[in-house]
């Protein structure tokens, strides 16, 4: 059992739920989860007296009032920003979901098996109201489409009950303002290589005469979100297109050197963490280090915030492989980081480097400064360009046995694989 998880944040988005809010809060308060509870109520511009009710509640609730109705996604986003718990779960205010089911959802995470747990209304568990056949068909179709895109085996992608480790949900930028947040979050966590579990839950659905708000238009919007975040973003990822291609080629050339069950440190992993996501299922531990990426820790993936002029925040001889993909060219004195890499590598460990060649300087500056199809700031930050001779000499001077030294991409980039010699 994990002993470092002590608190859970329950985010309750509310819109015109004056009749049920007190009842759900009573259920949440009375449910013993074995963790300290942080209850965050986010009113989404209600006009039925809900805001006045929220204001009258005891101060142990965290109360947030949105200035206008912006949608469930916007309310959840605001709640996630305010959450401080080790775990975070979404809780609707309409009594459709029973807080007692959270106890079972906690088990896969507390046992160290999961990073995210979905509460499925379609797995056999407790009571489930028989209601809206076509809603069930719609949910199943959306879940099927989601699974086809993510390669997951979920049974209920649209469920409200989603439980996260803090490090996971805090590193998802929720963009959808309405019910599209469900497929958006599912698409994004699938790309983070999280360990995702499902647990059966009870479901007390309500009809439209009882205040149900979701409709067929939200189903159409969900399909758009699956396509947008699961397909389009996966290909282009809001990044300059050529930059994404270059990253793919760099990873392709070093990928055969990543050994099964090894501990890998990717220095300069970038916000996409592309290499680490590709190899995380193969390796024992993946550690990313980058000055621009917030620290996270879930599954076998850990990201540390680090500036290259500081000491690498890892123990001596603690990793098997270090990768430096398009990083060394940004350093005026690469000797310092190479000394740190020698320190953290185990004896016989591998250092994998890619750098642009001197031949690439003119074309990189043209593509970045003139055509602007690669990042301008990255181009201006280039300090050095290399030849095979200068790169090989640098590796040898820091006591790395050269296993491979070659050019690729028509000679515009160089690759080196070196093995650490001695201690």
Residue 308 resides in a domain: yes
Q: Do 276 and 397 belong to one domain?
A: yes
Report the CATH number that the domain containing residue 308 is assigned in CATH. Answer: 3.40.50.150
DSSP code of 291? T
The domain tally of the chain equals 2
Residue 402 resides in a domain: yes
CA dist., res. 18 & res. 332, Å (int): 62
DSSP code of 132? -
For tokens 């397909």, what's the residue? 231
Taking alpha carbons only, the member of 190, 167, 186, 109 closest to residue 298 is 167
CA dist., res. 241 & res. 234, Å (int): 12
Task: Please give the backbone phi and psi of residue 126, each rounded to the nearest 5 degrees, phi first.
Answer: -100, -155
pLDDT for the residue numbered 220: 87
CA distances from 247 to 34, 251, 355 (A): 45, 6, 12
Residue 2 resides in a domain: no
Q: Do 22 and 170 belong to one domain?
A: yes
Taking the CA atoms of residue 407, residue 343, residue 300 and residue 152 in that order, the dihedral angle to the nearest 10 degrees is 0
Q: Do 206 and 268 belong to one domain?
A: no
Residue 53 resides in a domain: yes
CA dist., res. 327 & res. 39, Å (int): 43
CA distances from 333 to 330, 338, 380 (A): 9, 10, 17
- Residue 70's CB: how many other CB atoms inside 10 A? 16
pLDDT for the residue numbered 318: 96
Report the CATH number that the domain containing residue 16 is assigned in CATH. Answer: 3.90.550.10
The three-state DSSP-derived secondary structure of 191-255 is HCCCCEEEEECCECCCCHHHCCCCCHHHHHHHHHHHHHHHHHHHHHCCCCHHHHHHHHHHHHHHH
Q: Do 164 and 288 belong to one domain?
A: no
Q: Do 165 and 36 belong to one domain?
A: yes
pLDDT for the residue numbered 192: 84
pLDDT for the residue numbered 119: 95
Q: Do 249 and 228 belong to one domain?
A: no
Q: Do 283 and 298 belong to one domain?
A: yes
Q: Do 179 and 312 belong to one domain?
A: no
Taking alpha carbons only, the member of 279, 326, 322, 268 closest to residue 301 is 279
Greatest Cα pair distance, the chain, in angstroms, is: 76
The residues with which 356 forms a beta bridge, in sequence order, are 413
Q: Do 323 and 361 belong to one domain?
A: yes
CA dist., res. 215 & res. 335, Å (int): 60
Taking alpha carbons only, the member of 279, 373, 384 closest to residue 328 is 384
Name the domain boundary from 199, 217, 236. Answer: 236
CA dist., res. 169 & res. 302, Å (int): 15
The answer to whether 73 and 221 are in contact (CB under 8 A) is no
Q: Do 44 and 98 belong to one domain?
A: yes
Residue 91 belongs to domain spanning = 7-236
Name the domain boundary from 236, 268, 302. Answer: 236
DSSP code of 392? H
Q: Do 253 and 177 belong to one domain?
A: no
For tokens 């430096």, what's the residue? 324
| Cβ partners under 8 Å of residue 223, min gap 6 | 142, 145
pLDDT for the residue numbered 381: 87
Q: Do 300 and 218 belong to one domain?
A: no
3-state SS, residue 13:
strand
Task: Please give the backbone phi and psi of residue 260, each rounded to the nearest 5 degrees, phi first.
Answer: -60, 140
Residue 1 resides in a domain: no
Name the domain boundary from 195, 211, 236. Answer: 236
Taking only the tens of pLDDT, the chain with its 423 residues reads 677 899 999 999 999 999 999 999 999 999 999 999 999 999 999 999 999 999 999 999 999 999 999 999 999 999 999 999 999 999 999 899 999 999 999 999 999 999 999 999 988 666 666 666 777 788 899 999 999 999 999 999 999 999 999 999 998 999 999 889 999 999 999 988 789 999 999 988 755 554 455 666 777 888 999 999 998 877 655 455 556 677 888 899 999 999 999 999 999 998 778 899 889 888 999 999 998 887 888 888 899 988 776 789 999 999 999 999 999 999 989 999 999 999 999 999 999 999 999 999 998 888 778 877 677 887 888 899 999 999 999 999 999 999 999 999 899 999 999 999 987
For tokens 């489930």, what's the residue? 128
Residue 110 resides in a domain: yes
pTM: 0.74
CA dist., res. 195 & res. 197, Å (int): 7
Residue 353 resides in a domain: yes
For tokens 């300069």, what's the residue? 268
For the four alpha carbons of 65, 66, 67 and 70, in that order, the dihedral sign comes to negative
Task: Please give the backbone phi and psi of residue 111, each rounded to the nearest 5 degrees, phi first.
Answer: -85, 0
CA dist., res. 276 & res. 269, Å (int): 8
Residue 105 resides in a domain: yes
């Amino acid at each position: 059992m994990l002993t470092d998880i002590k608190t859970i944040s329950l985010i309750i988005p509310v819109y015109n739920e004056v009749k049920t809010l007190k009842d759900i809060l009573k259920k949440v308060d009375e449910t013993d989860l074995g963790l300290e509870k942080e209850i965050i109520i986010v009113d989404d511009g209600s006009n039925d007296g809900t805001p006045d009710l929220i204001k009258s509640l005891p101060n142990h609730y965290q109360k947030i009032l949105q200035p206008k109705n912006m949608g469930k996604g916007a309310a959840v986003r605001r709640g996630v920003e305010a959450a401080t718990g080790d775990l975070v779960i979404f809780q609707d205010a309409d009594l459709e979901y029973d807080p007692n089911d959270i106890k079972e959802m906690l088990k896969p995470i507390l046992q160290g098996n999961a990073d995210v747990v979905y509460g499925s209304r379609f797995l056999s568990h407790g009571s489930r109201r028989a209601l809206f056949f076509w809603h069930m068909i719609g949910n199943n179709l959306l879940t099927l489409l989601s699974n086809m895109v993510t390669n997951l085996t979920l049974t209920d992608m649209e469920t409200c009950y989603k439980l996260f480790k803090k490090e996971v949900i805090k590193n998802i930028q929720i963009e959808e303002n309405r019910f599209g947040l469900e497929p958006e979050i599912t698409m994004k966590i699938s790309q983070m290589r999280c360990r995702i579990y499902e647990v059966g839950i009870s479901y007390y659905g309500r009809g439209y005469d009882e205040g149900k708000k979701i409709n067929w238009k939200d189903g159409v919007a969900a399909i758009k979100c699956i396509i947008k975040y699961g397909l389009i973003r996966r290909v282009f990822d809001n990044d300059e297109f050529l930059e994404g291609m270059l990253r793919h080629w760099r990873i392709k050339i070093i990928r055969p050197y990543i050994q099964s069950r090894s501990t890998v440190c990717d220095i300069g992993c970038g916000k996409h963490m592309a290499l680490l996501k590709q190899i995380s299922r193969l390796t024992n531990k993946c550690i990313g280090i980058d000055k621009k990426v917030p620290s996270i820790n879930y599954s076998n993936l850990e990201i540390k915030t680090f500036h290259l002029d500081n000491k690498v925040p890892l123990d001596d001889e603690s990793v098997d492989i270090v990768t430096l993909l398009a990083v060394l060219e940004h350093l005026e004195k690469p000797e310092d980081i190479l000394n740190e890499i020698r320190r953290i590598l185990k004896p016989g460990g591998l250092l994998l480097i890619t750098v642009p060649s001197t031949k690439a300087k003119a074309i990189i500056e043209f593509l970045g400064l003139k055509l602007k199809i690669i990042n301008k700031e990255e181009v201006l930050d280039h300090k050095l360009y290399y030849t095979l001779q200068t790169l090989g000499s640098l590796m040898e001077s820091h006591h790395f046995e050269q296993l491979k030294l070659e050019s690729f991409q028509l000679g515009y980039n160089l690759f080196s694989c070196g093995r650490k010699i001695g201690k």
